[in-house]
Structure 1
Amino acid sequence: MYDILLCLVSLIALPKLLYQMAFHKKYRNSLKQRLGIGFPEIEKGNKKLIWVHAVSMGEAKAVAALARELKKRSDNDAILLFSTVTETGLAEGEKELPEADYHVFLPLDFSWIIRPIIRRVRPDQVIVCETDYWYNFLSSSKNAGARLSVVNGKISERSMHRLLKFPKFTKRLFCLIDKFCVQSHHYRERFLKLGIPEEKIAITGNIKFDNSFPKLTEEELVEWKSKFGIRPEDHVLVAGSTHDPEERIILDACFEVWKDDPHLKILIVPRHPERFNEVAQLLKKRGVKFSRYSEGVSHEAPVILVDAMGVLLQCYQAATLAIVAGSFTPKVGGHNIVEPCWYGVPVLFGPYLYSQPELLELVQEYGAGVQVEPEHLSDEIKGLLSEPKRRKALGAAGIHLADSLQGATERTLVEIA
């Protein structure tokens, strides 16, 4: 039945897949491996095989340190296989986790594709980061004798209610997993409501905050500001991880701010690279003078479209203020609103943080950021730009918050090792 439903979902998704392949060149390089063709032949022998799975770039970056430590604690004798779903996730895994013996795309979860691969690979330990639960992958791994763990576990309220509608399937799925290492008490309560035994759940924190966030030297920061055409008199607003229609919302607010502060410079960093050209077209239609980072920037351009991956944290370090997007559209539900806090940058975010409830609670508890409705965004930006003491207080609170979040990786290792 599961395979039949997966076939139906795949047929529904096929037009979008073909469109992405044709016009955005996505999935072309990964399709064969997703179909199980060319999956690595792994000579396991008597070695332990650890399979770590992360759906995309953010999860890949988060779980890299934990995976590295697992291999290290095996005296580097274990075979480490790292899988992901997205192409950006694979690239991030190769960059952040060169210690892995294999980097692969997770094959499609049809039983006739994934089961033969699992029987051949015979993993001893399977670790899934956050939320990517594939039934055939997990059940085949369990049947092969693997211990299954979820790390950095989370589940949205919407997903919880969906799963509650299918109690038999949910029980079959989650009973496969031996340990749930979850980010916060919010997620613990939701997993308990799904019928997971209390002894299987441990609150270990968010491993993303154990990553060494890159800190630019003074010389490097000057160089980055030069790359963005930032002058000493400029106020810099970084809009990070934007989605449609958030660029419009942020531009509308900034048109109001520019009336009072002509030195405001905006760095727009779209979440997905396939939207770079779309955002450029929007800026042209709005009549905004802008530069693309990839083409070199102008000091005169008030807007910089950062059409590159992996530079968001450097952008935050050049910021006077940061907006963490994904929070002004109900389709997304927020991104990591703590990232700017590492650099003492005041953070603004919208009303939709349902996918990050624990981060919202922490930021509000420490007074490190401001939640704002779209219609009040311009007023909040104006207020913060005109109040340096308030900006400094928010930034100091953010650093205090960031320092309090260390240690999740070690707590997780204690539970799963």
Structure 2
Amino acid sequence: MRTIYSALFLLLTPFFVVRLCWRSRKLPAYRHRIAERFAVVPTPPKSQPCIWVHAASVGEFIAFKPIVDEMLSWGSHAVYITTMTPTGSARVVETYGERVGHSYVPYDIGFLISKFLHRVQPTLAIFVETELWPNTLYHCKKQGVITLLANGRLSEKSLRGYRRLSWLSRPMIASLSCSAIQYEADAQRFKTLGLNPETCLVSGSIKFDIELNMHTIESAKFLYSQIQQGLPRKIFVAGSTHKGEEEIILSAYRQIKMSFPSCLLIMVPRHPDRFSEVAALCESWGYKLARRSDQQAPVMETDVLLADTMGELLMLYGCSHVAFVGGSLIDRGGHNYLEAAAWGLPIISGPSTFNFAAISDMLEQANAMFIADSDKLIAAEVLKLFSNEELAKRKGLAGAKIVKQNRGAKAKLILLIKGLLNLQ
């Protein structure tokens, strides 16, 4: 049956390339380095054994970065990181430069994966969260590469999709050498798909091991002081927003400004190819806009600060009073709530949280996060928090406590990786 999948994938490959070119209209990086998607990739030095880490997007890379830092500190293995998106790729290059090998991951076609593995020659392949591909896992096993699913998660929605293709997904998941799954509920879902319970560790989520370094803290303080300009000004940040969400946030913001006219909205679109689109949308509402990429501080007359830069979301949460986390007013399952919680911010989310179900449940039960499905509810919650600083502080501290109480997955995962590499 995998042969049928491979044939279909091969037939559809021209359409995938056309799609990359289409997406490059807004983000030109999509049409660059297309050869890497056909396994024409840099060859890492052969002086050390290699660990291959696949983090599909920038979110997975950010979550796994502390583990990569630890692996590099060992000095025993080279690290090669693949991503699928230009934003993820840019973050890898910005973070590590030539300290790691890097390319886009090849399409999941047998001979391409075989060629990629021959060039990179990994000893261990680590797949972050749910980024699993049938031919990739098959050829890793065939070539004797140890495979690890790290920080694995599987929502009920994804489980239904895997079950519909069980003829393909079961052999793939069963072939994993080892797995570190976030929560017991995720582990049970994976086990129904053939995951070996004897090689499955329930580790918790490495997202709880988020680190606020001094540079991020100082950058947040500096921007906050620029925004305040010596006067008290409320700041509402909308992080990782998608198409269809910005309109709702802008409508809520209009209601908020009726009571807090000096309030600043920081809008952080999830995808860089939408920066100009969101800028035009904000201006169409009549708001005075400042763009972060212009490197100019917002003035008191600025209504919206558009974060049209990469890698600043965590810092921007740190200079705000209330956070909305996007991907939740549409059917995307939410984004990383812990980036806001780590700062002690009260959080607002839409109802779609399935990608962070366990985390969102913890935050809701601790009264650290409020679920709102409309502009009116979002505005009402922001106004309540702006008007009651003690309430906002309690909610924020509750979220920060959840983060602190659930740390430790990083240490478990590092021990597991060392064991797989016989480094203990």
User: TM-score when scaled to structure 1?
Assistant: 0.92
SS at match of 1:27: helix
Aligned to 1:287: 286
Kept in 2: contact 1:353–1:360 (CA 8 A): yes
Equivalences for 1:14-93 in 2 at 5 Å?
14-37=17-40, 39-44=41-46, 47-73=48-74, 76-93=75-92
What CA deviation, in whole Å up to 9, does each residue of 1:324-372 have, x standing for no partner?
1111111x11001121111111111111101110111110232222112
Distance 1:310 1:77, change over 3 A: same
Distance 1:189 1:358, change over 3 A: same
Equivalences for 1:144-293 in 2 at 5 Å?
144-215=143-214, 220-228=219-227, 232-293=231-292
1:316 CA displacement: 1.1
Kept in 2: contact 1:225–1:231 (CA 8 A): no
Cα distance in 2 for partners of 1:95, 1:24 equals 18
Structure 2 residue identity aligned to 1:27: Y
1:277 CA displacement: 0.1
Structure 2 residue identity aligned to 1:4: A
Cα distance in 1 for partners of 2:234, 2:125 equals 47
The alignment-based identity, stated in percent, is 29
SS at match of 1:202: strand
Cα distance in 2 for partners of 1:164, 1:218 equals 44
Distance 1:242 1:217, change over 3 A: closer
Distance 1:275 1:229, change over 3 A: farther
Q: Which moved more, 1:100-109 or 1:214-223?
A: 214-223
Distance 1:14 1:81, change over 3 A: closer
Task: Say whether residues 1:135 and 2:108 are aligned partners.
Answer: no
- Structure 2, unmatched stretches of 5+, are 419-424
What CA deviation, in whole Å up to 9, does each residue of 1:251-301 have, x standing for no partner?
111111111211211000111111100001111222222211222233211
User: TM-score when scaled to structure 2?
Assistant: 0.91
Kept in 2: contact 1:81–1:100 (CA 8 A): no
Structure 1 residue identity aligned to 2:171: R
Structure 2 residue identity aligned to 1:389: E
Cα distance in 2 for partners of 1:113, 1:335 equals 32
Aligned to 1:405: 406
Cα distance in 2 for partners of 1:307, 1:367 equals 31
Distance 1:222 1:148, change over 3 A: closer
Structure 2 residue identity aligned to 1:366: A
SS at match of 2:391: helix
Kept in 1: contact 2:182–2:205 (CA 8 A): yes
1:26 CA displacement: 2.9
Task: Say whether residues 1:110 and 2:113 are aligned partners.
Answer: no
Cα distance in 2 for partners of 1:143, 1:365 equals 46
Kept in 2: contact 1:68–1:99 (CA 8 A): no
What CA deviation, in whole Å up to 9, does each residue of 1:35-62 have, x standing for no partner?
222x2234536x4221111111111122
Aligned to 1:365: 365
Kept in 1: contact 2:26–2:273 (CA 8 A): no
Structure 2 residue identity aligned to 1:360: S
Kept in 2: contact 1:49–1:125 (CA 8 A): yes
